[in-house]
Amino acid sequence: MKVVPIFGAGIQGRSLPVTAQRRLNCYFEQRPDGDKTQIAVFGTPGLVNITTMPGVVRRMLGTQSLFYCVAGNGFYSVTTALVQTLLGSLNTNTGAVGIANNPSQIIVVDGTAGYIYTPATNTFSQITSSGFPNGAQSVVFVSGYFVCEQPGTQYFWVSNLFNGNIWDSLAFASASQYSDNILAVDALIGNLILFSERHTEFWQNVGSQPEPFQPIISATSEFGIAAVYSRAHVNQTVCFLGMNPQGAAQVVQITGYNLAVISTPDLDYIMSKITVSDAVAISYVINGHPMYQLTFPTADRSFLYDTASGLWSDTQSGTTQNYATRHLAQFSAYTNGITVVSEVNSGKIHRFDSGVYTDNGQTIVRELVTRHGSYDFNRFSIDEMYLDMETGVGLNTGQGVTPYITVECSKDNGRTYSTPRNLQVGPLGNYKQRVIARRFGSSRDFVFRIRMTDPVQFTITEGAVSIREGAQ
């Protein structure tokens, strides 16, 4: 048999003959020592429910000992023992919120007003200071100050030092290097980031008063932000859905002051055909892989970017009759050594677990669509296909006692596929199980679709085929 590179980096987009590839609910890991393979394929983690809030979760903020959560119109704390405490109430009960903290306060903005919670006094109150920009959608704590944007303008406002209750009416400035409006604020490596419709600015604290920040002129970028809640901090960077100078959506990663496009032409094409303005993002780390997960609610699609490998994958929860559906995670927070995520349109909160193979009971479909296989554009035959996998992973009871994968073959560039063939991955402990399919016939092009729905470990190390040249 001949080992062939059947897994690649493409995403099915505008042309199946160019690429029909897909990675669904799995990610690639580069193995520099090449012990058995240079690239291993692993399944993404599942979700375990840890608690349910009494309303749809609108945002979360994690600390070392607990996390805070806005659910419905309530502001809650949730301890490591999962004890929920209602700390206050907002004037709104729907829509995403912005949330941030300094050492002694937590601030929430809901698009109409701002609120401060002070743990030391257990008080939650609406901000009434004259300099606060009511209507802000985002808030950040940076260099000792809370900062909010004023919607529909170029202005942002700054609180007093370490005090989100006081906002000086003169403590504001303008992101005016371009004529568009600010949409969101964020921070990285101690610097303030101002996301506008068509550009991004970086500001630093120079100690001036009453507004301490000044722009870093040379760091300005002509990428704007396409979706306010697409921002996520990933491995000392910020990833977000950007709007390039030509008005097209691309995913951008900020490292220091540098902005780099990380979406591929395949993904850019997909995004050009869907609604992107409502995109939301989460981030998490699994087995040393910092992940950025971007979801498009209207389009019902989710994509996962692995910053360790630089590869994009599809991700979804459950099964669907359509090509894809979204992953159920909406917002995330890091607390007490774990990442917690909220479930879309729900009060449920889950944690990621690489040893769990369902999303809170929903099926996790693993799917790989291979690269095109050709032989100098001549007709050839594949007599046998072998997948080197983690075998003997069956469960003791229920679905997955005898786990299977299915293999389908396409000879028309991935447009249609043959009847699925069921291949055993092996009951528990059957580590010598071989995953082999034979007699695929002849063609000038082969594409294979590999799929698993059983709730067991999914790992592939290599693929090999037996090729025989046929008539030209």
Give pLDDT, residue 373.
87
Task: Summarize pLDDT for 156-186 with one digit per residue, the tens.
Answer: 999 999 999 999 999 999 999 999 999 999 9
Q: What is the CA radius of gyration of the chain?
A: 25
Q: Is the pLDDT of residue 2 over 70?
A: no
Beta bridge mates, 259: 254
Q: Distances in Å between the alpha carbon of 377 and those of 144, 274, 288, 372, 411?
A: 63, 35, 40, 11, 13
What is the predicted pLDDT for the residue at 462?
84
Q: Across residues 446-472, what is the average pLDDT?
A: 87
The predicted-structure confidence for 206-215, as pLDDT tens digits, reads as follows 999 999 999 9
**pLDDT score at 465:** 85
What is the Cα–Cα distance from 361 to 319, expressed in whole angstroms? Answer: 12
Q: How many residues does the chain have?
A: 472
Mean pLDDT of 428-457: 94
| pLDDT of 472 | 45
1 pLDDT tier (thresholds 50, 70, 90): low
The phi-psi region of residue 432 (left if phi > 0; otherwise alpha if psi is between -120 and 50; otherwise beta) is alpha
Residue 470 confidence (pLDDT): 66
What does the pLDDT read at residue 21? 95
Residue 333 clears pLDDT 80, i.e. is over it = yes
Per-residue model confidence (pLDDT) at position 455: 97
Where residue 31 falls among pLDDT bands split at 50, 70, 90? confident
- Per-residue pLDDT of 251-281, as tens digits, reads 999 999 999 999 999 999 999 999 999 999 9
- What values do phi and psi take at 406, rounded to 5? -115, 145
CB 20 within 8 A of CB 369: yes
Q: What is the mean pLDDT of residues 322-336?
A: 96
Q: What is the mean pLDDT of residues 124-137?
A: 97
Confidence tier at 195 by pLDDT (50, 70, 90): very high
Structure tokens at 99: 């949330």
Over residues 313-340, the mean pLDDT reads: 96
Which pLDDT value is given to residue 35?
85
Give the model's pLDDT for residue 321: 95
For 90-113, what is each residue's pLDDT tens digit?
999 999 999 999 999 999 999 999
Q: Across all residues in the chain, what is the average pLDDT?
A: 95
Q: Which domains does the chain have, with CATH numbers?
A: 2-44+367-469 (2.60.120.260), 46-360 (2.130.10.10)
- 331-363: string of b/e by CB count within 10 Å (b at 16+)? bbbbbeebbbbbbbebbbbbbbeeebbebbeeb
